[in-house]
Structures are given as structure tokens and as C-alpha cells.
Structure 1
């Protein structure tokens, strides 16, 4: 009975893991539909109106990577990136409302058709027939293309299996980059160049059960699904974002003229703020902060546990105040003073104070989350609370530990850390027993306030 309960739980869990697939299975044919919109499509259509549309020509906007689709065995002659970049760009230009695109990709077909119209009119209407209207000429050419398609820039997953039951998840992230530039046809000047990158996410989740439920009775169950972001929509969103960028940056540099300058100024400010936020995020979506300080103060509260010769090992309080000095972003030093109580017999009237000098290493100083390590030496002082100066004892010790800090902004961070203190004495608890010296550990949470300018930036200011 217990075995069947376990199997039922596994089956129900597997069903809910893949329920998204079960409720959306392509079990019937689907009718044709209009093209899907991306997050950039709505933004592009909501741009403020221009004072006058700009006539632009697009001769070619194609894949310049030359990459082919990856397959497990053999080679593929299908390209990894869509070859219809020109059509996607022209559609984005139309949707923006800022440009009047003219046909240039298949210009020879257009000219041949105009020659046919002209010859037909001359043949049937003679010289009195209407002339073919002149072609529009572009004041601006748009050039560029898909310049990179990087595969497997980030891969990973997780899985577990126990007695034939388990599951796993995998993901893969690719990256595509688009460049777009505007060129003046009057003098060939490159007016503006922008580039946009977009990631491509692929995910796979599966769960399975392979188990003998009875003699010669084998149960095998599998479920799962794979989800791949459509590459065409990725290229579409990147191109639409590039068109939006070239419009806004052109507004900022007075290349185009808006109908409502105030609305355009608001859009420019919002765009610049977005660019600053994006520049603070690296390739792997790691958000960075400005490191511009050399000094910091900290306050910390936590618990400690004394591990000596007595059997009682309960937790008691500890409070710390500290000063940090950063020599380089990854390395610094700290000086801390603290007060604590040990939960050991005959220590109710005993006060413990300590001071530590540590070297600190920060693995990711520019990230929001940064693990760090510290190690150093210190002194522990203990005496009676009412008679501190007459009956004081000092103990030399070493300490080391690790922690994790979260930067709230460029001035404040919160941290959680643990420290191991090893004293070179067995007399802290007034009981000398065994070969091992007394030691204690502490775990605390704290707040750090950072101040003082970075040396490099201060030097630059002095030079200016």
C-alpha cells in the first residue's frame, strides 16, 4: 500500500510538472493567423509623431554571420538566421510612422515593370500618352544586418533521480546582435549607428519513473516538454528595437524633427535612463553597481556559540562595530570591535570584549550579490562586569569566515556572515580539560555604509 502511495505521488507530480504541455498540446490543425507582436512592436507604434516623414531606402539588411543550423550528426544547409531581414526592417519602418520606405531591394524588377508600362503606353497611346511618374528618391539609406549569432553563451540544468524516479531541467541561451546605420544620400555621411542584442532562450523539462511495482511487473512513465524561442521573432524584436533607437538618438542629435518637442524630450530622457540601466548589466544579465568608495562603517548583530570543555552549548548574543578600508575593489582590510556573552556555567557576571583585524577578499565587488571571505588575528578580553580593570584576562586568537553581501545601492549594503574563532588557550571557560583549546563561532546580519571617493576617480578630478 505504501508503495502505491509513493507511485501515485510521483505520477501526480509529473502530471503537474508537464501540465502546461498537456493543456496546450497541438492535437489539431491551426488556422493561419497574423504575425505575432513583440514587446518592441507596441513601443514602436507608440512613438510620438514626426514633423515630416523621412523617405528611406533599404537595399539590403541580411544575415552576415554565415552560420548554419546545428544538428547532431552530419551537416545542414539551412541557415541559422532568417534571410528575410530586409522585409522585417521595412515593416518596422512602416510601423514606426517616421519613415516612408521605398523599394530598393528588387529595384531591377521595378525598373523593368516601369519600362513595360512606358512602352505599352507609347505603343497604344502614342506620344500623347501619360508619362510614367518619377520615382521617389531616398534622402536617407539604412544599411546593416545581423552581424553575430553566438550559440551556447549560457547553458545549465538540474536533475535528480532516486530509485528509478526523477526529473531534470535544462536550458540554453544564445545571442543575436543587429547593427543599423543611417546614411545621408546627399554627401554619404553616416548620420547615426546603433546596435541591439537579444538573447534566445531554449528550455527542456522532463520527469520519469522506471520501477518494478511487483514481481515481473514494471512501471515506466515519462513526461516533459521543450520550449524554444522562435528565432524569427527574436530577429524581429531586435530590428524593431534598433529602429526605435535610431529614431530617438536621431531626435537627440537633431537629425529628425518631432511634431511635439516636449513629448520627444520626455522620450529621450526615458531612453537615456534605459541605456544607463542596460550599461550597468553585463552579458550574463549581471547587474553592476558603481564602485566609488574606499571606506565603510558596519554594524552587526547576531548569535554566538561557545564550544569549550562544558557540555552546554547554547546560543547567546554578539554585537559588532567595524571599519573597512578597500585598497582595490577585490581586496581590503577591516578592524572590528565587539561585545558578547558566552552561555557557559559561571559566566553570568563575566563580560567579554574582542577586537579583530582581518584581511577581506570580495569575489564580485561590482555585482548586486557578492560572496566574500575574511581571515585575520584578534584579541579576546574577559573580566568581571563590575570590576573590569583589576581582574582582566586576554586571549590571543585567529579567526576566519565567509559571507554574502547584497548591495542596496552605491552607499549601502546588507550582509550575512559567519566567523570561526580559534583561541590559543583552554582557560576561557575556566576549565582546562582535554587537548583542544577553546573556540567559538558566530553568525550575524549587518548593515554597511560606504563613503570616500575611489582613488582613481579622485586622481582624475585632480588632473582636471
Structure 2
């Protein structure tokens, strides 16, 4: 029964990770409803009012990908993204409150209808001069061009699952990506005033749980449940276009192309918030990794830990160690590192002595743009005894090689915490005064510590 309880709990946990989708399964027909309002739409509608609305024309905001929906069973002629992006853009312009959009996508239909009105008036009113003429059409001061330039499928896929004695659950996910460009063009000069680039990921998830078990002789229990959830591509395109319109407005305010009604204070506040968000976004990589700019080129580190001897005695104990090191960047990920350490090597009653070491080597950071990054180090150094010895003709100084791995996390620009482990090979079998076998004595260092970053900023070098 304990096994069944654990299995049931595992399935329950898997389902509860997306219980909102699981518990809102459709069971009846639904009435029409207004379109979904996202956080991007709300932010667009909260923009301050403009001094004067800008008349813009949108001839066509096209799907430039030429891509069809992927299919596992054969070819399909359904497009991967919506062909109605122009309508989405016009709606976003209206929601912003900054633009007066004029009809240009189907301008031929509009002109034809105006000709019908003129000919009807002339035919049935006999050319009455008192009849008012059709008002002139508005013309656009700015044209908006661009389109959906990319739709990338399966930029990230993965899953997780487990099964034990017929009870199991699994989850899978897939992430796609849509990219748009939106540019504003002056109709008087043809100059491109602004060009905005926006991308949006599209998530698909699947979750299932199953039970396949013989509960007694010739009695089989089988149960299965699950669901899939696919983010609509149209909503992803809508959010990307709304984000592009917001960026177009704020960057236009920054360049004094247009201004808000509330004046300079509102402009500066809006620009500061936008720049803060944009800086954060620019430091975010393709797979939603947060990139961190390391501003300093050198660091002093202090660490405490332990040393573990591996030599000719079977009894080896962890002993204390203190290390101070200095590193200076040679290249973006590569640094020269110098370190000095004092530590004890202990094999119980058979051997226990204190040593000092001086090392020089290279430190390679695997993820230089991340706050949390592993690193590797390797080099050479010298080792000397600090304890007095009664062993005649004992060797006190040793040349050694070392290599190791570590992990560092930057709490602030100039402060990081680290953990590391190194393997030190002394090229001698006399470290513990005992020569036995063919293998040289060696030892391991483990520690945790802090790095204090200092010196000039990399941006100023």
C-alpha cells in the first residue's frame, strides 16, 4: 500500500504543476467573447496622451517568413503565422492613443466606393452646385512598414518522466519563436525615423500520467490522464506587435519626434522605465539566460577549506587550509592567477605537518556573462615545509602541478562567492618521508571563499 500511496502522490504532484489548465477543461460550447487582453496591451493603453495624434498609414504588415505549419504526418498548406498582421497592428495603434490610422491596406476599395458616391450624386442630382463635395482623404505623415520576419520552431525541446511498477507520469515541452520588425518612415523625406525589433517565444506543453497494474489475479487496473497546452501563435504575434508599437512611441519621444501632453517630466519618466526594461532585455540571451556584464578586470580572493593527503599511509584526514589569491584578466574568459596558501597534511599519528605553497597558473571562466559560472584552473607551483623535522636529509621543497574546478556566484559587481577543488601532484614520493610504490605523493584542496573585484572598469580599459 505504501507503494500505491507514493505513486498516487507522484501523479498528483505532476498534475498540480499545471492544475489551472487541467481543471479548466472544456465541457460545453462557449459564447463569443472579446479578445484577450495581455499585460502588453494594458501597458500600451496606459501610455500618457500625446500632444497631437500622428496620422499614420499601414499599407501591409506582411508575413515574410514564407513558412508553413510543421507536421509529423505530411505536408501542410496552413501558414505558421497569421496573415492578418496588418489588422493587429492597426488595433495596437488605436489602443495606444498616439496615432490616427488611415485605411491603406485596401485603398482600392475605398477609392472605388468614393467614385461610386460621386457618380451617383451626378446622375441623380443633376449636377446641383449646392451639393457638398466629398471631403478630401487624410494623408499620412508617417508610413509604418515591416513584417513578421522569422518563425523558428523547436528552438528548445525537452521533458521529464518516470515509471515504476506500472505507475508513471511524464511532461514534455517545446518552444518556438516569432520575430517582427516595425519601422516608421517620414512621407515628406523618406527618412527612416525609427526601426524596432521584437521577438516573442511560444510555449507548448504536454503532461500525462498513467497507471497500469494487476490488482489481483486476472484483474487489471488501467488509468490514464493528461493534457496539452499550446500558446496561440496569433496572441504571440499580437503581443510582439504591441510591444513594437510601445517601443516606437517611447523611442520617438526620446528623439523628440513626438511628445506627450504632460510635458518633459512625463517624457523622462517614461524613457527611464523603458530604458531600464530594455537594458534588462538586452542582457537576456536566446534561451532566457540573464547575461551579466563583468565590470572589473582583477580580483583578490580569500578562502578557507581543507586539505586531504593521498600518499603512502592509509589513514588520511581532512586538515585546515587558508588560501589568498590574485587574478587579472588576460582575455575575456582567461585570467592569470597567483595564489599563496598555508595548509596541513595529516595522516593521523603517522604523519602531520604544515606546508606553504605558492602557485601560478591560468583561470578559465566558462560562462563569463553569467552571475553563476563554473571555472577551471591549472598551473604549477612550489611547496615547502613549515614544520621542523628530525628526519635526516629530508627533502623540504617540492615542485608541483595543480588543476581544479570551481564555481563562482557574483552577489554584486565587485563581490563574488566561490567554491573549488584542486588536485596537486608533487612529482615526488618523499612528501610524507616514506617512499613506497611507483606513484608520487599528491593531495587535494577544497575550499569556499570570496572574491573582491577591484581596479579599473573593463569599459574604460
- TM-score, with normalisation over the residues of structure 2? 0.89
Distance in structure 2 (CA, Å) of the matches to 1:407 and 1:377: 27
1:17 aligns with 14
CA apart distance, 1:431: 5.0
Distance in structure 1 (CA, Å) of the matches to 2:335 and 2:22: 55
Q: Secondary structure at the match of 1:237?
A: helix
Distance in structure 1 (CA, Å) of the matches to 2:388 and 2:95: 78
Distance in structure 1 (CA, Å) of the matches to 2:337 and 2:181: 47
- Match for residue 387 of structure 2 among 384, 387, 406: 384
RMSD (Å) for aligned C-alpha atoms? 2.8
Distance in structure 2 (CA, Å) of the matches to 1:455 and 1:59: 46
CA apart distance, 1:45: 1.0
Classify 1:64/1:440 alpha carbon distance in 2 versus 1 (closer, same or farther; 3 Å).
Answer: same
- Match for residue 400 of structure 2 among 370, 384, 397: 397
> Does residue 99 of structure 2 align to residue 96 of structure 1?
no
- Match for residue 232 of structure 2 among 230, 233, 236: 230
Matches within 5 A, 1:188-267: 188-259=190-261, 260-267=263-270
Q: Secondary structure at the match of 1:341?
A: strand
Q: Contact 2:394–2:433 at 8 Å: present in 1 too?
A: no
CA apart distance, 1:190: 2.0
Classify 1:111/1:276 alpha carbon distance in 2 versus 1 (closer, same or farther; 3 Å).
Answer: same
1:37 aligns with 37
CA apart distance, 1:258: 1.9
1:84 aligns with 84
Q: Deviations over 1:239-287 (max 9, x none)?
A: 0111111111111111112212210121112222322222222222232
CA apart distance, 1:74: 1.5
CA apart distance, 1:55: 1.2
Q: Contact 1:142–1:183 at 8 Å: present in 2 too?
A: yes
- Match for residue 345 of structure 1 among 334, 348, 365: 348
Distance in structure 1 (CA, Å) of the matches to 2:312 and 2:167: 46
Q: Contact 2:102–2:138 at 8 Å: present in 1 too?
A: yes
Distance in structure 1 (CA, Å) of the matches to 2:400 and 2:215: 59
Q: Secondary structure at the match of 1:328?
A: coil
1:297 aligns with 300
1:324 aligns with 327
> Does residue 29 of structure 2 align to residue 26 of structure 1?
no
2:378 aligns with 375
Distance in structure 1 (CA, Å) of the matches to 2:305 and 2:175: 41
Q: Contact 2:50–2:98 at 8 Å: present in 1 too?
A: yes
> Does residue 181 of structure 2 align to residue 179 of structure 1?
yes
Distance in structure 2 (CA, Å) of the matches to 1:402 and 1:212: 49
2:3 aligns with 6
Indicate the larger mover: 76-85 or 124-133: 124-133
Q: Contact 1:349–1:385 at 8 Å: present in 2 too?
A: no
Q: Contact 2:180–2:240 at 8 Å: present in 1 too?
A: yes
Distance in structure 1 (CA, Å) of the matches to 2:394 and 2:430: 14
Classify 1:183/1:383 alpha carbon distance in 2 versus 1 (closer, same or farther; 3 Å).
Answer: closer
> Does residue 411 of structure 2 align to residue 414 of structure 1?
no
CA apart distance, 1:430: 4.8
Classify 1:417/1:213 alpha carbon distance in 2 versus 1 (closer, same or farther; 3 Å).
Answer: farther
Distance in structure 1 (CA, Å) of the matches to 2:173 and 2:363: 35
Indicate the larger mover: 83-92 or 449-458: 449-458
Distance in structure 1 (CA, Å) of the matches to 2:212 and 2:356: 60
CA apart distance, 1:402: 0.7
> Does residue 145 of structure 2 align to residue 143 of structure 1?
yes
Classify 1:396/1:207 alpha carbon distance in 2 versus 1 (closer, same or farther; 3 Å).
Answer: farther
CA apart distance, 1:210: 3.7
Q: Deviations over 1:351-383 (max 9, x none)?
A: 322222222222222222322111222333223
Q: Deviations over 1:218-253 (max 9, x none)?
A: 444333332221111111111011111111111111
1:336 aligns with 339
Matches within 5 A, 1:68-79: 68-79=68-79
Indicate the larger mover: 64-73 or 335-344: 335-344
Q: Secondary structure at the match of 1:118?
A: helix
Distance in structure 1 (CA, Å) of the matches to 2:415 and 2:2: 51
Q: Deviations over 1:367-416 (max 9, x none)?
A: 223221112223332233799xx998233333221112223444333222
Classify 1:419/1:214 alpha carbon distance in 2 versus 1 (closer, same or farther; 3 Å).
Answer: farther
Q: Contact 1:417–1:443 at 8 Å: present in 2 too?
A: yes
CA apart distance, 1:109: 2.2
Indicate the larger mover: 247-256 or 110-119: 110-119
- TM-score, with normalisation over the residues of structure 1? 0.88
Q: Contact 2:346–2:352 at 8 Å: present in 1 too?
A: no
CA apart distance, 1:57: 1.4
Indicate the larger mover: 66-75 or 392-401: 392-401
Q: Secondary structure at the match of 1:267?
A: helix
> Does residue 275 of structure 2 align to residue 272 of structure 1?
yes
Unaligned 5+ runs, structure 1:
459-464
Distance in structure 2 (CA, Å) of the matches to 1:135 and 1:173: 45
Unaligned 5+ runs, structure 2:
none
Q: Secondary structure at the match of 1:109?
A: helix
Q: Deviations over 1:404-448 (max 9, x none)?
A: 222344433322211122333444445555554443322212222
